[in-house]
Structure 1
Amino acid sequence: MYQLNFDLNSFLSTHWHRKPTIIRNGFVEFDDPITPDELAGLAMEEEIDSRFVTNLDGNWQAQHGPFENFDDFPDTHSQLVIQAANHWHPGLRELAEPFRVLPNWLFDDVMICLSMPNGGVGPHIDQYDVFIIQGMGKRRWRVGDKGDYKDANHHTGLRQIEGFDPIIDEVLEPGDILYIPPGFPHEGNTIDVSMSYSIGYRSPKKLELLSGFADYVLTNELGDIHYYDPNLQTREEHGMIPTAEFDALNNMLMKLLNDPKAKSRWMGEQLSQSRHELDIMPAEPPWAADELFQFMEENLVLEKVSGLKALYHEDDLSVIFLNGESIELPEGCEAAARVLCDQEAFTGEDLGPIANNPALLALLLELCNQGYWYPQA
């Protein structure tokens, strides 16, 4: 079990969204949760987002997986990157566990980098809060201040910039953590064969929120009502939009935007969507109702599929949101919202008296058969 060597609340009050910092020995006795061979195996899978970046002689190239083998890849100036590794490997899921006290709706993924000497992805800027954990080996990290920087190497898709003056220039060793808020340029350069892990948190942009809500309104055919004015009168200035009519149209729009029921449902669905593929496997054979009932009776453990975002609103526990879907809980079973969303695993004992509720058991049966929860090994 991984354990942080610092207080997250103190960290949040001094650094979150404010300034980058290095936390030496951020983990107690850190061990890599995955081997290089296992990481390479993940990069061969079709469902997993992987890429191999090289910069021999300053020539930046990026290849996207899946990869059949790595025989022809250079053993210097190269880096293998796996996105959302926590969805596919239990060790990476465990690595993210100490950070679960941060909001799940902000959490994006755990990214792994296996880097050869002088490997990296070049100077770039991310719009994430990221904790970069150094595993085996050493990497030199340079971080600059916020500012305007010129883009570079557009053909690679690496979103690089031309360069920056560092405010941090340090070598990370196993167990060290580098925190970088959004908008700060940074670059890692590998000293010897290295593994590093990025715990990323991504907040939505205003544009994404507006676009997402507009899509929700269109999909659900909300506000399909025309402007209506039975008191319309003739006017000489027929090209003018009178203030009263502008206000009426604006009120129509704002009434739609400020519909609390629609916004609540949309927000839960939007924030619970994963940006990366999940390892969801429907139960085969499907659970039978009596099997799940017996499972609950014996207090055996059901575990949530890794990376699944399960959310609920503070003021309404009657609905939970799973991977972009709204799910109504049976009446009287609102307590299940906290168990299903706040815990990575649960038993019948965690649910208490509602564990025997037929309607809740029917819902759990459906969720287990869809592959959202499965018996803990």
Structure 2
Amino acid sequence: MSSLPRFTLPLPAADFLRDYWQRKPLLARGCASGLEIPDPDTLAGLALEDGVESRLIMGGQQGQHGETASWTQRHGPFDEDDFRTLPESHWTLLVQSVDYCLTEVSLLLDSFDFLPPWRLEDIMISYAVRGGSVGPHFDQYDVFLIQASGQRRWQLGPACDASTPLQPHDSLRLLADMPVQEEHLLGPGDVLYIPPGVAHWGIAEDDDCVTWSVGFRAPRRADLLARITDECLANMPEALFTDPGRDLPEDAAGLSDTDVDALTAQALGLVTPERARQALMQLLSEPRQSGPDFAGLDFEVDTGHIRAAAPEAVLVRHGSTRLLADAKGLWLNGEHVPLPDDSRSLGTYLASRRLYDAASLNQHAGTAGMELLNEWIEQGFFVSLE
């Protein structure tokens, strides 16, 4: 029987967020299912496509005298000859944002409703043969590592930061040394959560090792500030600093603390909660990949598979469609779409999940809302399953 990808926390969500989220790793045995699609051939096919971010990483094998083979990384798109000439072991193919390309993969993200939707980034999927790995490293964001097929041995190390020594490599940020503190062998359905900064190293144990990596959006603080600033300055009327009723100068030769406070307060006064929310909603609803270099909406959706696994569903959100709802409507891939009063709840419903049934759509969407929805279906943001 067909099934959709799914993950279930092995403990109450509140306990996970309190005790594990961004604190320590969690091993969850047998907590994921429905991971049969894509198979390695489909993954390799995606790596041939222009605009799909893919990599081949090789290395890590031990020589006769204990030395480790150097690591190499190549970026796609690849061609079929690239795969024909690969060695028998110690290589990994990684394809980023597979959920954008294969909508059925994106349905796994509904299992992470214990976090706000803007926190989700994408799903990377890797295929490795025996010994395949990307080396010892750490990420700056949270990741759930989900074993789909084969086995992968994960070694976990200490917490790392910008001062942690790295190997001398042009493109791979590999740790110079990784003391092993934990080791886990993952099989199909097993899941390992890794917080930001925790060192880890996964090595394929066989030639059928497929691993899904659910990554989370963690915007750089500088990017948040820049976006908020840009929004506050857009269409801002000219306004000069004012200081009526000021006292005699405290500092005859420089800038006093009082003046610093006044200048700063008037500058920061341009940042209002409404403008900040506007800027953040736009930023956080933008897809990771978009524009002419990524034709995400061109990838066909396997509606037959989804219908068989979820017969009550009549509509699915395309994997490359990113949604956030606000009080006035819906943010769709970085653009705000106002909704009429009788369809305001449609935005909340659409943004809260990726599969939709007929009764709920009729309940939340008025006549104008259904017209908008039909436009979005024509544009490829949603796909009808009927």
- TM score, norm. by length of structure 1: 0.84
Q: 1:186 and 1:301 mapped to 2: Cα distance? A: 41
Aligned counterpart in structure 1 of residue 19 of structure 2, from 5, 14, 17: 14
Alignment of 1:71-90 (within 5 A): 71-90=84-103
Q: 1:190 and 1:264 mapped to 2: Cα distance? A: 44
Q: 2:268 and 2:356 mapped to 1: Cα distance? A: 42
For the structure 1 residues 365 and 27, does the alpha-carbon distance in structure 2 shift closer, same or farther, using more than 3 Å as the test?
Answer: closer
- C-alpha contact (below 8 Å) 1:143/1:169 kept by paired residues: yes
Q: 2:315 and 2:44 mapped to 1: Cα distance? A: 30
Aligned to 1:304: 317
- C-alpha contact (below 8 Å) 1:122/1:188 kept by paired residues: yes
Q: 1:152 and 1:272 mapped to 2: Cα distance? A: 36
Alignment of 1:330-369 (within 5 A): 330-346=340-356, 349-352=359-362, 355-358=365-368, 360-369=369-378
Aligned counterpart in structure 2 of residue 107 of structure 1, from 113, 120, 143: 120
Please tell me the residue identity of whatever aligns with 2:194: I
When the two chains are superposed, the root-mean-square deviation of aligned CA atoms in Å is: 2.8
Q: 1:238 and 1:213 mapped to 2: Cα distance? A: 35
Please tell me the residue identity of whatever aligns with 2:319: S
For the structure 1 residues 328 and 90, does the alpha-carbon distance in structure 2 shift closer, same or farther, using more than 3 Å as the test?
Answer: closer
- C-alpha contact (below 8 Å) 1:114/1:195 kept by paired residues: yes
Q: 1:189 and 1:60 mapped to 2: Cα distance? A: 14
Q: 1:184 and 1:223 mapped to 2: Cα distance? A: 47
State the identity %.
Answer: 30
Q: 1:273 and 1:44 mapped to 2: Cα distance? A: 25
Aligned to 1:289: none
Aligned counterpart in structure 2 of residue 374 of structure 1, from 347, 360, 383: 383
Q: Is the deviation greater in 88-97 or in 158-167? A: 88-97
CA deviation after TM superposition for structure 1 residue 222, in Å: 3.1
Aligned to 2:193: 179
Q: Is the deviation greater in 72-81 or in 224-233? A: 224-233
Q: 2:249 and 2:115 mapped to 1: Cα distance? A: 59
Aligned to 1:162: 176
- C-alpha contact (below 8 Å) 2:317/2:382 kept by paired residues: yes
Q: Secondary structure at the match of 1:264?
A: helix
Alignment of 1:210-289 (within 5 A): 210-218=225-233, 220-222=234-236, 224-229=238-243, 238-257=252-271, 259-277=272-290, 279-281=296-298
Aligned length: 354
Alignment of 1:15-30 (within 5 A): 15-27=20-32
Q: Is the deviation greater in 220-229 or in 16-25? A: 220-229
CA deviation after TM superposition for structure 1 residue 228, in Å: 3.1
- C-alpha contact (below 8 Å) 2:285/2:331 kept by paired residues: yes
| Deviations 1:276-317 (CA, angstroms, capped at 9, x unpaired) | 24622599xxxxxxxxxxxxxxx993322114221124xxx2
CA deviation after TM superposition for structure 1 residue 178, in Å: 1.0
Q: Is the deviation greater in 191-200 or in 274-283? A: 274-283
- C-alpha contact (below 8 Å) 1:141/1:169 kept by paired residues: yes
Q: Secondary structure at the match of 1:160?
A: coil
Aligned to 1:203: 218
- TM score, norm. by length of structure 2: 0.82
Aligned counterpart in structure 1 of residue 37 of structure 2, from 33, 39, 51: 33
- C-alpha contact (below 8 Å) 1:335/1:351 kept by paired residues: no
| Deviations 1:6-58 (CA, angstroms, capped at 9, x unpaired) | 23514333311110122222235x65322111111011111211110111662
Please tell me the residue identity of whatever aligns with 1:19: K
- C-alpha contact (below 8 Å) 1:280/1:372 kept by paired residues: yes
Stretches of structure 2 that go unaligned for 5 or more consecutive residues are: 62-67, 301-311
Q: 1:138 and 1:282 mapped to 2: Cα distance? A: 29
Structure with greater contact order relative to length (CA < 8 Å, sep ≥ 6): 2
| Deviations 1:143-175 (CA, angstroms, capped at 9, x unpaired) | 1121452122331x2221212212211221111
CA deviation after TM superposition for structure 1 residue 205, in Å: 3.2
| Deviations 1:222-260 (CA, angstroms, capped at 9, x unpaired) | 364222346679969553223443232112122122x02
Q: Are residue 42 (structure 1) and residue 46 (structure 2) matched?
A: yes
